[in-house]
Amino acid sequence: MTDALKRFAGYAALITGGARGVGEATARRLASEGARVLIADIDPEAARKTAADIPGASFVVCDVSDTDQVETAVAHAVEHFGRLDVLVNNAFANTDDTPLVEDQPEDSWNRVIDICLTGAFRFARAAMPHLEASGRGAIVNIGSVNAEVDFDGHAYSAAKAGLASFTRTLAGHGGPRGVRVNQINPGTIHTRAWDGRERGIAELGRALYPLGRVGRPEDVANAVAFLASSDASWITGTTLRVDGGLLAVNQSFQMILSATDDEA
């Protein structure tokens, strides 16, 4: 990374769920451009390992469903770095759908909503005064294409749709305070959840994604870096799809239609 691309020199960023996957890739990307990064994650060993591998990074153990831990994490960032410029709400939870909605346990539904949506609210609430004080504050929420189209995961989809709405309302609240708020909706991302299923995920990419592959954590991290940077200084309240064209083109329909034409 050249000095000309060090957009985050002097910045401090806090990333929830930052120990692995998209969170880890985002921490690495922001740090590569000069940011000091605090990784907030529920897994202490993974957070410690990732932070140790990123120059200038620190970590804090945090469950985003615990208000005290959230406030402690934000306070730690401000105390450790002297400021807070960027918040990335990446932590999430998911649960399998039951065959019938009436069989869905309420506790599992509530936990997903609490982590994915209310957790982002908790962090935004705690961080907002410090982001305002920085004079260049930015929040980037990590949503999902599930917010827009049914891909199963009822609670997860509802939470991510709610997060998109919260992003817009928070942008209106944060704008006069100099804080921009945006969301990224990724498609399928090849994280450790797909380990051992490389053939399947490759086939998924070819079948459903116009760009011929599923996403990588770095694809999302690149978008986060843009939205958090001064390059996006006049962008707020928007949701950016990082989905390889999944929602723009009905790839499976076109393949079926093509096969039908071949048979004619």
Taking only the tens place, the pLDDT of each residue in 192-227 is 888 888 889 999 999 999 999 999 999 999 999 999
* 24, two tokens: 């880890």
**Residues 159-177 pLDDT 10s:** 999 999 999 999 999 999 9
Residue 114 has pLDDT above 80, yes or no: yes
Instruction: Please name the helix (run of DSSP H) or strand (run of DSSP E) that holds residue 44, with its range, or none.
Output: helix 44-52
2 confidence band (pLDDT: 50, 70, 90): very low
So what's the pLDDT on residue 147? 97
Residue 26 has pLDDT above 70, yes or no: yes
Strands of 86-89's sheet in order across: 58-61, 36-41, 12-16, 86-89, 138-142, 180-186, 239-242
Residue 28 has pLDDT above 90, yes or no: yes
The answer to whether 188 and 214 have CB atoms below 8 angstroms apart is yes
User: Could you confirm whether 160 is annotated as catalytic?
Assistant: yes
So what's the pLDDT on residue 13? 99
pTM of the model: 0.94
**Residues 8-24 pLDDT 10s:** 999 999 999 999 999 99
User: Could you confirm whether 6 is annotated as catalytic?
Assistant: no
256 confidence band (pLDDT: 50, 70, 90): confident
4 confidence band (pLDDT: 50, 70, 90): low
The answer to whether 112 and 106 have CB atoms below 8 angstroms apart is no
So what's the pLDDT on residue 197? 87
Give me the domains of the chain, ranges plus CATH numbers. 3-195+215-248 (3.40.50.720)
Q: Specify the residue for token string 């936990």.
A: 111
Alpha-carbon distances, residue 125 vs 13, 135, 226 (angstroms): 16, 17, 23
Residue 263 has pLDDT above 80, yes or no: no
Residue 262 has pLDDT above 70, yes or no: no
For residue 221, which amino acid is it?
A
Q: Which carries the bigger pLDDT value, residue 197 or residue 179?
A: 179
| Residue from 6, 49, 156, 209 carrying the catalytic annotation | 156
| Residue from 6, 11, 49, 160 carrying the catalytic annotation | 160
89 confidence band (pLDDT: 50, 70, 90): very high
So what's the pLDDT on residue 60? 98
